Structure 1
Amino acid sequence: MDFTYSEEQQMLTDSLRRFVSTEYTFDTRRRNAREHGSFDPHIWSALSEMGVAGLSVPAEHGGFGEGPATQAVVQRELGRALVQEPVIPGGVIAPAILRGFAPPEMQAACLPAVASGETIFAIAYLEPGTRYRAEAARAQARREASGAYVLSGAKSAVWHGAAAHAYIVSAWLDGALALFVVQRDAPGLTVAGYPTIDRLAGADLTLADTPATLLTVQGLEALELGLDHGIAAQCAAAAGAMERLIEITAEYLDTRRQFGKPLASFQALQHRVAEMVMQKELALSMAYVAAQGLDAADVAERRRKVSAAKVVTARAARFVGQQAVQLHGGMGMTDELEVGDYFKALAMADVLLGDSDLHLERYTAAMAA
């Protein structure tokens, strides 16, 4: 897999950087989180027009049919700006599940709307007490005499759930974990949204005999594939966030003076910034490893590479975030600077889509296999 930017990838990167520098400023992002639940339809529409939502959607369904390498390029750029829109759940995880497991008629109905940004999917697989384990779900599906399916149960911590138009929901059906599509306006569905510490948003779902459409009875396999695509994208976004945070920190050290000299002139602080850069480069390399793993024919190889990238990136993200706060001194603890936003986003790199404990266990099992 070649990670050298192609001409098309470079053009897309340049377009995204220009867009976020003018339309997605620090104040805009804060206002978006405060007033719009971290989702702005105008921003989402603009990103969709640039191809972000349909990047992984096959060309026959209105997308661009790009692979993991291009997705890593885009997510790295979006991570630099801490873009809050539901790009990973709606533009990465959902398309991976739909194109890999949904029947042709469902793909034809859903994927064009995903590519255009008209429909945003969220993934509802976590439940209270399940600790990231999809197989521990308790939601139940029932097929009625008419042939229609209804779901009952509760889902928690649905990433960008409040902004979604539809949900991919896991539930047990005849002894197997299956995935279903539930529309936002379906009877019996209650959505309770809330902000998260990183200025994003989550939601809890309650399903009471809620009508649903069967996506696949291979629920565990489909979820694992979709979440692996999401983790690879998340790692690239975290590497981009670290990259930008290091730039912000270096700029601060260049301007802040102590003993008549800029802080950047002190060798001890230079060493700490160098360590931050090394951790960022390590995370970026592992993001490429995760992207490469998505194309592996062997499932165990994919699991090893994705879980290893998740663990290494989470550790690097915590280190870079903590160092940036400390190097900003007292100002790093205030809400006045961007550094706090980046620190919170990087702290969430560990807990989103499975924490390090889960992925270390998964990596070990894949190695044993």
Structure 2
Amino acid sequence: MDFSYSEEQRQLADSLRRFTEERYPLEARRKANGFSRDAWRMYAELGVLGLVIGSEHGGFDGQATDTFAVQFEAGRALLPEPLIPCAVMAAGLIQRYGSEAQRHAWLPPIAEGREIMTLAYQEPSARYDFARPSTVAEARDDGFLLEGEKVHVWHGEAAQSLIVSAWNPSAQAVSLFVVPSSAAGVSVRAYPTLDGTRDAQVTLNAVRVPTSALIGEAARGEAMLETALELGIAALCAASAGALDRLIEMTAEYLSTRKQFGQPLARFQALRHRVADMAVQKELALSMAHLAASAIDHPGAVERRRMISSAKLIVSRAARFVGEQAVQLHGGMGVTAELAVGDYFKSLMVASLRLGDAEFHADVLANLPIEPGTHALAA
């Protein structure tokens, strides 16, 4: 896959960068508390929210390279809004598996910025396991009755709708449902996260949804959810690569201006070597982010999962290394609000935990079957 930007991708990336630099600086992003309505409208105007949505539903038929270009810039700017959970994961899931009625109902509002949707799939004590949720969806004549609890719902407070995973006894499988956050019996308790965004704990107490809320086939919820998570991981790897790129730029600028013993810190060979090591890790993360994007359309499920998990594992390790080095090279200033380095470090640490941390993806790789002609990309 060719990852050089097309003219349209370059224009979109440049437009997003100009917006963040001129109209949405770091100070404003810090005050946004995880979400800015003005910024969200701008994302819709730029076409970011409808990127993966089909043109017949108001989108732009975007591919993996388009998502990469946008998320790389979003990561460079630490955009706090739910671009990945809504515009990539939820929109991508409905685009692929929703009925025509569901696509018509949900995709145009997402593309236009009128609807925010996120996934609610993690549960207490289950960590990253989503294969057998304790949330249950009992079939009723007029639909389903949902009962359960979800945690770590990414931007759950801002979402008007949730894609909820639940065990469906009638299908003996995991099913996915669109549940309005305002539905009777839905309780959303939001809380701040380390990176300045907000997650939520969602309680479903005898929540009734119609049959039309069921996404795709009742017995294919696990496979559909895995696809959405793969889309999210690829986008998150691109965003982390963008954050690493900007973090190294800031560190190099600081070392060039900060003086010690009458000369810039950048003159000290040992420090230059540390920045070089950071650059190596960034390039490795960037390459793996490209790999994750190329994996999205790979026909083989096992090899696709191998590529996605390898990317998430290596990008997470690179993020920790580069983040820690950046903070140390800034000295005491690295942990103050005066500089942005701390914001980037915290964002990268949270990103490394979302959608499976390094340990989880190492386990995934260890348990995948080795197909003929393939090899493990990470150990």
- Residue 18 of structure 1 aligns with an amino acid whose one-letter code is R
CA distance in 2, matches of 1:16, 1:188: 39
TM-aligned CA deviation for residue 114 of structure 1: 1.3
Question: Is 1:202–2:199 an aligned residue pair?
Answer: yes
CA distance in 2, matches of 1:110, 1:344: 33
TM-aligned CA deviation for residue 150 of structure 1: 1.9
Q: Which consecutive unaligned segments of at least 5 residues does structure 2 have?
A: 372-379
Q: Deviations over 1:258-293 (max 9, x none)?
A: 000000111111111111111111101000000001
The one of 121, 128, 144 aligned to 2:140:
144
Report the TM-score when normalising by structure 1: 0.97
TM-aligned CA deviation for residue 365 of structure 1: 2.8
SS at match of 1:180: strand
Q: Which residue of 2 is the match for residue 165 of structure 1?
A: 160
- Residue 5 of structure 1 aligns with an amino acid whose one-letter code is Y
The one of 69, 79, 82 aligned to 2:78:
82
Question: Is 1:193–2:190 an aligned residue pair?
Answer: yes
Q: Which consecutive unaligned segments of at least 5 residues does structure 1 have?
A: none
Does the 8 Å contact 2:258/2:265 carry over to 1? yes
CA distance in 1, matches of 2:246, 2:24: 14
TM-aligned CA deviation for residue 306 of structure 1: 0.4
Question: Is 1:22–2:22 an aligned residue pair?
Answer: yes
SS at match of 2:165: strand
The one of 34, 40, 44 aligned to 1:44:
40
Question: Is 1:32–2:32 an aligned residue pair?
Answer: yes
TM-aligned CA deviation for residue 367 of structure 1: 4.0
Does the 8 Å contact 1:124/1:158 carry over to 2? yes
> Following superposition of structure 1 onto structure 2, how do residues 66-81 of structure 1 map, counting pairs within 5 Å?
66-81=62-77
SS at match of 1:349: helix
The one of 70, 78, 91 aligned to 2:87:
91
TM-aligned CA deviation for residue 303 of structure 1: 0.2
CA distance in 1, matches of 2:110, 2:129: 27
Q: Which residue of 2 is the match for residue 282 of structure 1?
A: 284
The one of 336, 339, 347 aligned to 2:338:
336
The one of 125, 135, 139 aligned to 2:131:
135
Q: Which residue of 2 is the match for residue 223 of structure 1?
A: 225
Q: State how many pairs are aligned.
A: 364
Q: Which residue of 1 is the match for residue 375 of structure 2?
A: none
Does the 8 Å contact 1:293/1:302 carry over to 2? yes
Does the 8 Å contact 2:334/2:342 carry over to 1? yes
SS at match of 2:356: coil
The one of 108, 123, 126 aligned to 2:119:
123
Q: Which residue of 1 is the match for residue 181 of structure 2?
A: 184
Q: Deviations over 1:173-196 (max 9, x none)?
A: 122110000001100000001100
SS at match of 1:301: helix
- Residue 221 of structure 1 aligns with an amino acid whose one-letter code is A
Report the TM-score when normalising by structure 2: 0.94
Q: Which residue of 1 is the match for residue 56 of structure 2?
A: 60
Q: Which residue of 1 is the match for residue 351 of structure 2?
A: 349
Does 239-248 or 332-341 show the bigger shift?
332-341
Does the 8 Å contact 1:24/1:81 carry over to 2? no
Does the 8 Å contact 1:193/1:203 carry over to 2? yes
Q: Which residue of 2 is the match for residue 317 of structure 1?
A: 319
Q: Deviations over 1:138-165 (max 9, x none)?
A: 00011223x2212110000000000001
Does the 8 Å contact 1:304/1:367 carry over to 2? no
- Residue 186 of structure 2 aligns with an amino acid whose one-letter code is L
CA distance in 1, matches of 2:69, 2:343: 22
Does the 8 Å contact 2:132/2:167 carry over to 1? no
Q: Which residue of 1 is the match for residue 377 of structure 2?
A: none
TM-aligned CA deviation for residue 116 of structure 1: 1.1
Over aligned residue pairs, what C-alpha RMSD do you find?
1.0
Q: Deviations over 1:239-264 (max 9, x none)?
A: 00000011111111111100000001
Q: Deviations over 1:6-53 (max 9, x none)?
A: 1101111110110000122111011112xxxx1111111101110111
Q: Which residue of 1 is the match for residue 98 of structure 2?
A: 102
- Residue 20 of structure 1 aligns with an amino acid whose one-letter code is T
Does the 8 Å contact 1:130/1:136 carry over to 2? no
Q: Which residue of 2 is the match for residue 292 of structure 1?
A: 294
CA distance in 1, matches of 2:130, 2:77: 31
Q: Deviations over 1:182-218 (max 9, x none)?
A: 0011000000011001111100001011123111321
TM-aligned CA deviation for residue 112 of structure 1: 1.0
Q: Which residue of 1 is the match for residue 274 of structure 2?
A: 272
